[in-house]
Structure 1
Amino acid sequence: MLFHMIAGGPQPVAPFSHAVETDGFVFVTGQMPDTPDAPGVLPEGIAAQTRNVMANLATVLGGLGLGLEHVVMARVYITRFKEDYAEMNAVYRSFFAEGRLPARTCVGVTGLAYDALIEIDLIARRP
């Protein structure tokens, strides 16, 4: 197993690796909607927070020589499910090629670190 911390990646909010790799699979820790330059500072609204989360996930994958096209599974956690689900989906979908959406689970939760509206984790597979 390989435990990865990506230089210039998002600042961890807890004790974890950015990703763990085993047998060609890469498990990417759930990312928050802050940026590496401003840890803990969140933009307003689900659209902006979803974009930041996806950018952080892409940064971690990029640090491993992978991209969003290598994602096989995503888990999305949102705190305002009914209010934000449709808008989050529109932003999320824009990060993937048409017809190439990973498998996904999306759940409503009661709270996330930094009082974020969204967190997403991924499983990717090396080609």
Structure 2
Amino acid sequence: MKKSFALFVLIIAIQACQPKKPSTEIEYYQSEEMASLGLPFSDAVRVDNMLYLSGVIGMPPGKLELVEGGLQAEAKQIMENIQKVLKANGSSLDHAVKFTVFIDDIGRWSEFNEVYIEYFPGKKPARSAFGAEGLALGAAVEVECIAVIPD
């Protein structure tokens, strides 16, 4: 009896020391506003504690049109839309780690920055930018975001 109990304890100890295969949890988030537009993508995809947002243009929620006012108005709407998606998924701009900016005229980069810095007065996420032609709906700017979902 002692040998079988000792063997049982040894097996349990060995199993406890085995590395566990990590499980990757993937969730797809599409807001009601986005779903109502019938567009073929998610607002964001969550992989474990990371959140990957689709490119966002300056559309008011639920409308397939750009806000009026040009690049800076679009940039403000983009940042508001990003905040909304982050919040709906348990994150915030404080947990954003990377932005990718596509702008139709890289010469107008400073105009975008005037709006962007209003949302990041302190710590700034990593960021890349590209000049791009033919953004959706003729947008002046499109922005992607990657954020952490805190525990």
Matches within 5 A, 1:46-57: 46-57=71-82
Between the aligned residues of both structures, percent identity stands at: 30
Pairwise mapping of residues 21-100 of structure 1 onto structure 2 (< 5 A)? 21-82=46-107, 84-98=108-122, 100=123
Structure 1 unaligned blocks of 5 or more: none
Could you tell me whether the CA contact under 8 Å between 1:29 and 1:122 is conserved in 2?
yes
SS of 2:110 mapped into structure 1:
helix
Decide whether aligned partners of structure 1 residues 25 and 58 sit closer, same or farther in structure 2, where only a CA change above 3 A counts.
same
Structure 2 vs 1, CA of residues 8 and 26 (structure 1 numbering), >3 Å: closer, same or farther?
Answer: same
| Alpha carbons 2:57, 2:142 under 8 Å: kept | yes
Count of aligned pairs between the two proteins = 125
Deviation at 1:46, TM superposition (A): 1.2
Match of 1:101 in 2: 124
2:31 pairs with 1:6: yes
Letter in 1 for 2:90: G
Which is higher, the Rg of structure 1 or of structure 2? 2
Give 1 or 2: higher helix fraction.
2
Deviation at 1:116, TM superposition (A): 0.3
Q: What TM-score comes out, normalization by structure 1 length?
A: 0.89
Displacement of 1:91: 0.5
Q: Please list every run of at least 4 consecutive aligned residues from structure 1 whose deviation after the TM superposition is greater than 3 angstroms.
A: 7-14
Structure with greater strand percent = 1
- Give the TM-score of the pair, scaled to structure 2: 0.76
Unaligned runs of 5+ in 2: 1-25
- 1:11 is displaced (CA, Å) by 6.3
Rate the CA distance shift 1:72–1:61 in 2: closer, same or farther, 3 A. same
| Higher RCO (CA 8 Å, separation ≥ 6 residues) | 1
1:92 to 1:11, Cα distance in 2 relative to 1, 3 A: farther
